[in-house]
Amino acid sequence: MRNFSELNPIAVSIYFFCVTGIAMFSSYPPFMAAAISGGILFFIARNGRKHIRSHFFFLILFIILAAANPLMSHNGVTVLFVMNDNPITLESLLYGLNSAAMIVGVLYWFRSFTQIMTSEKLLYITGALSPKLSLVISMALRYVPLFKNQSKKIKDSQTAMGLFSDDNIIDDIRGRMRIFSILITWALENGITTADSMAARGYGICRRTQMKRFSFRKGDILLLLSALTLTGITVAALGTGKLEFKFYPAVKYSTPDIYGIFGIIAYITLVLLPSIIEMEVGLKWKYLQLKI
């Protein structure tokens, strides 16, 4: 019994790329609605009532993006009203709503992706492609907290010595420039020390190997096959041309045939997969608790 975040990182990454890839390269409104709805549902299923500010930020971003297009683009034949001698058209408004749904939906999915894909999982994926690339990424990720901690130490030392003051802008800029200069010097010295340490331990003598802490199990294979199958059905439906939706110069769309309906159902199922997995795990866990 594993939730979505505990599945194999390769299967999870392929799933996210399938969902976001269709959303980014398709302008079909039902797909955009499914993408943003599925992204929000999965984000809430994982985080519950946490990250309320994120929802407010995405809501404001959605409103801005949706309003920006009709205010800047005046294409379309259906004029709703005129503002400052500029026509606001129905087509521009619908296109703005569709684009905003796509962008915000993809951002929701990538927000969940960054929560799930820890540095260890990213190193597992890149290590399978290139061990050297994995090493570079791991070292880069390691230096982010190191720089932050070292910068705080330098600032505290400078403040204790009376060399850093933020009373006015000039002194604050001078102090921060001094801290930045010291931090760069420390980073260069630390890089040389790291290189010498790696050489002393025999790095580069033979081919690098990869420590594999993740393996493919039944659930991982099912997720991978389901994602690829549903994506293939969706792409095939888009290829038939029955899922076209044109905004300019007037709204024009094709009525979905049987293949189009299957494509819509396939993509809705695809975006709901992680939420279904999370709900199934939650129900199983509550059931097991009741049996105790």
Tell whether 111 and 238 lie within a shared domain: yes
Q: Residue 159 and residue 156: Cα distance in Å, rounded?
A: 5
Same domain, 232 and 115: yes
Do 280 and 142 share a structural domain? no
If asked whether residues 118 and 234 sit together in one domain, one would say yes
Domain boundaries, position 180: 132-200
222 in a structural domain: no
Q: Which neighbouring-strand residues pair with 88?
A: 81
Q: Is 220 part of any domain?
A: no
Which pLDDT band, with edges at 50, 70 and 90, does 182 fall under?
confident
pLDDT over 90 at 268, yes or no: yes
Which pair of structure tokens corresponds to residue 142?
Answer: 């390691």
Tell me how many helices (H) and strands (E) the chain has.
9, 4
Is residue 29 reached through a cis peptide bond, with omega within 30 degrees of 0 on the bond before it? no
Instruction: Indicate if 34 and 72 belong to the same structural domain.
Output: yes
Final residue of a structural domain among 200, 216, 246 = 200
Check if the beta carbon of residue 104 is closer than 8 Å to that of residue 58.
Answer: yes
- CA 292 → CA 285, 287, 288, distances in Å? 11, 9, 7
Same-domain pairing of 186 and 164: yes
| Cα–Cα distance list, 97 to 73, 180, 250, 253, 270 (Å) | 13, 44, 16, 16, 22
Taking only the tens place, the pLDDT of each residue in 114-151 is: 888 877 787 777 776 676 777 777 777 777 788 888 88
- Mean confidence (pLDDT) of the chain: 84
Domain boundary pick from 154, 182, 200: 200
Domain shared by 96 and 54, yes or no: yes
Q: Determine, yes or no, domain membership for 273.
A: yes
- 235 in a structural domain: yes
255 and 167 in a single domain? The answer is no
One domain, residues 234 and 98: yes
Place of tokens 């990454």: 13
Give whole-number Cα distances, 235 to 104, 267, 268, in Å.
22, 9, 13
Total tally of structural domains belonging to the chain: 2
Asked if residue 85 and residue 48 are part of one domain, the reply reads yes
d(CA 214, CA 240): 39
Q: Which of 24-38, 199-213, 272-286 has the highest mean pLDDT?
A: 24-38
- pTM (two decimals): 0.75
pLDDT confidence of residue 272: 92
- Asked if 105 and 64 sit in the same domain, the reply is yes
